Structure 1
């Protein structure tokens, strides 16, 4: 293992950060939550953020927090998929194919919600008016977010990005080829 400062990873994979924040904003719009400010990317901590109105519906709040997991995973796979066959099957890739693989991996590796998102969910779950079923779903989600955060120290986010953008298209091509 080697150590690379997080800011360098963030800069190298900035498309994933942008899509992550866009996903938060998309879920806010979907649930009709007013958004006050969006920073899609900056060289700092956090690398991006969305400021929105306080959310009364706890399920909506949790979905806004985990929205990037769904959006980044799906978009990362879809972007990389057209490049999978030229790169991995036909061995006749061009620079655009490698660019699509890079974009797919960088987007998918930013799918994990942040610990800030986990803290937001936890604050909602502690409130007495939060429905029990939201708490039943929410606490394991928080645990998974923290496991993902801890795993990023061991490059879990890059492994996930590669699995989504390279492994999944490869698997689909092998199943149907």
Structure 2
């Protein structure tokens, strides 16, 4: 029979292992949930890259609109012959995601205000009454909010987008001095992509939401 101190130590190790496995399992489930929640934004982001390539005649080698991995999506294409084509491909997601996200959030804001689900108040937060609408309308409202925020969060250029655009700028500015005019914009793209680490992309999506409520005549702040 094992000594009591050794038995206690083995029991403690066993319990610790179970707790660690449970935490790891919950972490994996949470990661999958977050990936799925962000999927619409990733799909629209990569679609914007792909449609920009097709519109300007840049051949696409491979498109992955969404996957469980890093990166969650990507578009591999040939190197554009003109700098402005590379610039268009790089910034296309910001424009497309912003327009699509704002459209969804505008529809959400109009739906919840006209049905009385959300009513601006004199306090810090608006009054929310889920019982003011049917279950179907609530589901529709949640879907619109989810799509708008998920797509808005992924409007910012990724680090890969910024790196690709900066590489194009460094290799072409000697041959075409006009490229220098685009450097301020490239720097903005690069800074914006880095700010995503500080949740600036989330704040941007929230800003689109607040703007949508302001446009429908029911500002939240």
TM range (shorter): 0.7 to 0.9
Q: What is the CA distance between 1:96 and its match in structure 2?
A: 0.4
Worse overlay, 20-29 or 128-137: 128-137
User: 1:62-141, aligned counterparts within 5 Å?
Assistant: 62-88=87-113, 90-91=116-117, 92=133, 94-128=138-172, 131-137=176-182, 139-141=183-185
Distance 1:11 1:141, change over 3 A: farther
User: 1:161-172, aligned counterparts within 5 Å?
Assistant: 161-164=205-208, 166-172=209-215
Q: How many angstroms apart in 2 are the aligned matches of 1:130 and 1:73?
A: 33
Higher RCO (CA-CA < 8 Å; seq separation 6+): 1
CA contact (8 A) 1:7 1:43 kept: no
Q: Deviations over 1:73-128 (max 9, x none)?
A: 00111122112123245324521011111101100110111111111111111124
TM-score after normalising by structure 1: 0.85
User: 1:49 is matched with which residue?
Assistant: 74
Q: How many angstroms apart in 2 are the aligned matches of 1:130 and 1:32?
A: 22
Where do 5+ consecutive residues of structure 2 fail to align? 1-26, 118-132
User: 2:50 is matched with which residue?
Assistant: 25
Number of residue pairs the alignment of both structures matches = 170
Where do 5+ consecutive residues of structure 1 fail to align? none
CA contact (8 A) 1:124 1:130 kept: no
RMSD over equivalenced CA pairs, Å: 2.3
Secondary structure in 1 aligned to 2:76? strand
